[in-house]
Amino acid sequence: MKATKELVHITYDIAIKIYEGKLTRKEGIDTFVGNGRMNPSIAADFIKNIKCLLEGKKFTRTNNAYSMEYFFKNIYRDYGFKGLSNALRALNLHIEYYEDYQDVTMHSMRKIYSEYLKIYSDNPDEHEQEEIIKILEKENKTKDQIVQELKTLKPTDPELITISSKSYKRDNVTIAKIKKLRDYKCQICSTRIKKKDGSYYIEAAHIEPKHLGGNELPNNIILLCPNHHKEFDYGDLKILEHTSDILRFNLNETEYSISMELI
Ligand SMILES: [Zn+2]
């Protein structure tokens, strides 16, 4: 399967539209072939492979390393950890199949696999929070109910909480609830990042780090966009005031005042 970089990008967009039901498979393939840019069977292979990556299923025809890397980068961006988890499973099945069948070692595919496996394994908390948020959305709780749950939390509560018969870390459940309550917005700049699946990405920071004895209660957690999170963690930070209502701090010579009220 050979394709220029530009074609790889277009292929991804079209395959996603087909996957999401915004285009039929035939319309998608016609778009390529109609423009005389790709032969129909190659277009069909690309579309099939992207579908398999999204669904965690084995694919048999291989892509070049540039395409695979591009698909992984974008699936992670558009479908978060769930998408990444499926893509990893699919690529693993593909490598097993192809190496066995062709008697080769797929060095570049293995490299992409381990690179993204590392991203996936380094963020187990984000992954878990994403899952919890999906459950919270289904439960359709009001903000008032979430506030009540957060207000009655105690540091002595069990470390693991069972929801929908699965155990989650208490801290991740708390953070997921705060994310929903605060509409996934950065508490410094109000930015929120919309993902392709319609959900939002936002990060949580512990004001007093957990390894320094900071607790896991809502009063010690703020939501930050990726830029402000890194600045908060690595910048010159001085906490000026921290109560249940307000957090005032100086960060790299700028003073901020953030409401800690749950409302
Ligand atoms: Zn921000």
Q: Dump pLDDT digits (tens) for 194-222.
A: 988 888 999 999 998 877 788 889 999 99
Q: Are residues 86 and 152 in the same domain?
A: no
Q: Are residues 175 and 244 in the same domain?
A: yes
For 210, residues 6+ apart whose C-beta sits below 8 A from its C-beta are 171, 216
Ligand 1 centroid to residue 192 C-alpha, Å: 8
The pLDDT confidence band at residue 251, using thresholds 50, 70 and 90, is: very high
- Window from 38-42, 56-60, 215-219 with minimum mean pLDDT: 38-42
Domain span at 104? 5-122
Beta strands 246-251; 254-259: pairing state: antiparallel
Which of 73, 92, 122 terminates a domain? The answer is 122
Ligand 1 centroid to residue 254 C-alpha, Å: 13
Bridge partners, residue 248, by sequence: 241, 257
Q: Is the pLDDT of residue 6 over 90?
A: no
Ligand 1 centroid to residue 248 C-alpha, Å: 15
The pLDDT confidence band at residue 1, using thresholds 50, 70 and 90, is: very low
Q: Dump pLDDT digits (tens) for 131-147.
A: 899 899 899 889 999 99
Ligand 1 centroid to residue 119 C-alpha, Å: 22
Q: Are residues 109 and 147 in the same domain?
A: no
Q: What is the mean pLDDT of residues 150-177?
A: 89
Q: Is 39 exposed, middle or buried (0-12, 13-18, 19+ CB in 10 A)?
A: exposed
Q: Are residues 184 and 86 in the same domain?
A: no
CB 173 within 8 A of CB 132: yes
The string over 218-239, giving b where at least 16 C-beta atoms fall within 10 Å of a residue's C-beta and e elsewhere, is bbbbbbbbeebbebbeeeeeee
Ligand 1 centroid to residue 104 C-alpha, Å: 47
Q: Are residues 157 and 205 in the same domain?
A: yes
Q: Are residues 114 and 189 in the same domain?
A: no
Q: DSSP letter at 46? A: H
pTM: 0.69
Ligand 1 centroid to residue 198 C-alpha, Å: 20
Q: Are residues 13 and 41 in the same domain?
A: yes
Which of 93, 122, 151 terminates a domain? The answer is 122
Q: Are residues 138 and 180 in the same domain?
A: yes
pLDDT for position 158: 86
Q: Are residues 63 and 159 in the same domain?
A: no
Report the distance separating Cα 260 and Cα 263, nearest Å. Answer: 9
Q: Report the residue count for the chain.
A: 263
The pLDDT confidence band at residue 28, using thresholds 50, 70 and 90, is: confident
> Which residues are in the CB-under-5-Å shell of ion ligand 1?
186, 188-189, 191, 225, 228
Q: Compute, in degrees rounded to 10, the torsion defined by CA atoms 109, 117, 179, 239.
A: -120
Which of 96, 122, 148 terminates a domain? The answer is 122
Helix (H, G, I), strand (E, B) or coil at 224: strand
Q: Are residues 91 and 209 in the same domain?
A: no
Bridge partners, residue 111, by sequence: none
CA-nearest of 111, 128, 198 to 169 is 128
Structure tokens given for 167: 């155990």
Ligand 1 centroid to residue 83 C-alpha, Å: 25
Ligand 1 centroid to residue 223 C-alpha, Å: 9
CA-nearest of 211, 214, 213, 138 to 176 is 138
Q: Are residues 129 and 117 in the same domain?
A: no
pLDDT for position 7: 85
Q: Are residues 79 and 35 in the same domain?
A: yes
131 against 185, higher pLDDT: 185
Overall domain count for the chain: 2
